Amino acid sequence: MFFRIRAIAMKEVRQLRRDRLTFGMIVGIPLIQMLLFGYAINFDVRGLKAGVVDEAQTSMSRALIADIAATGVLKITHRSQSVADLESLMRGGEIAMGLYIPADFERRRIERDRPVAQLLVDGSEPTIEGIANGFAAMPLTGRDGIYMSTQLSPKALFEVRTQYNPEKRTAVQIVPALIGVILSMTMMMFTAVAIVRERERGNLELLITTPASSFELMAGKLLPYVMIGLIQTTLVLILGVLLFDVPINGSLLALYVAALLFIAATLALGLLASTIAQTQMQAFQMAFFVLLPSILLSGFVFPFDGMPAVARGIAQALPLTHFIELVRGIVLRGSTLAELRIPAFKLLVFLGVVFALVTLRFHKRLD
């Protein structure tokens, strides 16, 4: 019995050794993901984009802005003229937080009976409100003394005003982005095995003999799953509204256009994996290899701007990153596609490039 078990085990080892893709993933998946997530997952958020409106224009107000920037948590990228400008930047996803310093800043600072300034927070993003509350509790000091100290006054340094999620409910932040996560899981799995399954079942020969071109074959494989993806999008939206009371502040048409782009891009990525994999197991492994970084690096859990530059660069190559920016903007912030044209354009480019690669890799021959 021992010799028979040993013979089967040796057969499996030889088979794994011949299967270079699977053998590479045995080492590559834990190594790459450990390095990637060890650096990318960081609860100490740094470099969040922020805008400033300084109506006081005094030395102390400028010192306050400098001290906040010196913490490294916020990166002042925009200087605006009004709160309306800050809200417009936030609605378009260009900033995560806005600092408004009123004209009577000096009087507030001296009297210490109320907050000296206001922080506008994008409530559609996770953890950002906690960062703003941390700022509100800080006794920041300037060149000639304390702006506002919790030891000198019960009032916080800043008044925190949460935009788009005033009730501060986690479901409002998570449910819209879940559309993208669920679609990533299902769409990638559907198409990652598409070509491999045809080959294993012996149907690939029939497809090769048809007069349809490679482009037509790949497009035909995508279309049914696009409809499935739109049905799933509708289902998640209905459940989000009915069960979690998630508001839909933007246009449904814009949302479905964004979903259509994302579904097509994710399906094309799955097809690309299917043209590389030789077995269904390999296809599932490749889909998992893409899925986990997509969830952790896309901004679904951690603020995108707070991740290291290398992690943000990798995340730019993942369609979920751009879709989460689109869906949160449309559903929660009421943004238009014109305001979110950059992530929409990135999704469109990703779809074009990946589908072109799929078409080039799929040849109408058995080798």
Tell me the pLDDT tens digit for each residue of 122-147: 888 877 888 888 777 766 554 455 55
The whole-number pLDDT of residue 17 equals 65
Positive/negative CA dihedral, 213, 216, 219, 223:
negative
At 127, list the tokens: 């953890």
- Are both 187 and 146 inside the same structural domain? no
State yes or no: pLDDT of 36 exceeds 50. yes
State yes or no: pLDDT of 153 exceeds 50. no
Q: Which of 34, 40, 35, 31 is nearest to 302 (CA)?
A: 40
* Helix axes of 341-361 and 319-331: crossing angle, nearest 10 degrees: 150
Q: Collapse the DSSP code of 159 into the 3-class scheme (helix H, G, I; strand E, B; otherwise coil) and give the result.
A: strand
- Are both 174 and 318 inside the same structural domain? yes
**Position with higher pLDDT, 117 vs 206:** 117
The pLDDT > 70 percentage for the chain reads 77
The whole-number pLDDT of residue 146 equals 54
Q: How far apart are CA 195 and CA 362, in angstroms?
A: 9
CB-based burial of residue 79 (10 Å sphere; 0-12 exposed, 13-18 middle, 19+ buried)?
A: exposed
Q: Decide if 123 is inside a domain.
A: yes
- Are both 174 and 154 inside the same structural domain? no
The domain that holds 101 is classified in CATH as 3.40.1710
The whole-number pLDDT of residue 321 equals 92
Q: Decide if 20 is inside a domain.
A: no
- Are both 117 and 89 inside the same structural domain? yes
**pLDDT interval class at 13 (50, 70, 90):** low
**pLDDT interval class at 151 (50, 70, 90):** very low
Q: Decide if 262 is inside a domain.
A: yes
Q: Please tell me the least confidently modeled range out of 69-78, 89-98, 160-169, 281-290.
A: 281-290
The whole-number pLDDT of residue 252 equals 94
The whole-number pLDDT of residue 351 equals 92
The whole-number pLDDT of residue 284 equals 77
Decide which of 123, 145, 163 is a domain's last residue.
163
- Are both 205 and 349 inside the same structural domain? yes
Q: Decide if 13 is inside a domain.
A: no
Decide which of 111, 138, 163 is a domain's last residue.
163
Most confident region among 128-137, 183-192, 250-259, 296-305 by mean pLDDT: 250-259
**Domain count of the fold of the chain:** 2
Decide which of 136, 163, 190 is a domain's last residue.
163
**Position with higher pLDDT, 217 vs 331:** 331
- Are both 303 and 202 inside the same structural domain? yes
**pLDDT interval class at 73 (50, 70, 90):** confident
The whole-number pLDDT of residue 327 equals 94
Average pLDDT, the chain: 80
State the amino acid at position 259 in one-letter form: A
Q: What is the largest CA-CA distance in the chain?
A: 89
Q: Which of 292, 84, 103 is nearest to 284 (CA)?
A: 292
**Average pLDDT of the segment spanning 311-326:** 89
State yes or no: pLDDT of 258 exceeds 70. yes
State yes or no: pLDDT of 38 exceeds 80. no
**Average pLDDT of the segment spanning 96-109:** 89
User: Which residues have CB under 8 Å from 66's CB, separation 6+?
Assistant: none
Domain coverage including residue 300: 170-361
Q: Decide if 43 is inside a domain.
A: no
Tracing tokens 């004209």 back to the chain, one arrives at: 103
Q: Decide if 333 is inside a domain.
A: yes
- C-beta of residue 196 within 8 angstroms of C-beta of residue 279: yes
The whole-number pLDDT of residue 150 equals 43
**pLDDT interval class at 33 (50, 70, 90):** low
**Position with higher pLDDT, 93 vs 41:** 93
- Are both 97 and 179 inside the same structural domain? no
Give the helix ranges, DSSP H, for 71-104.
Answer: 83-91
The whole-number pLDDT of residue 253 equals 95
Tracing tokens 């003999």 back to the chain, one arrives at: 209
**Average pLDDT of the segment spanning 27-40:** 63
- Are both 326 and 186 inside the same structural domain? yes
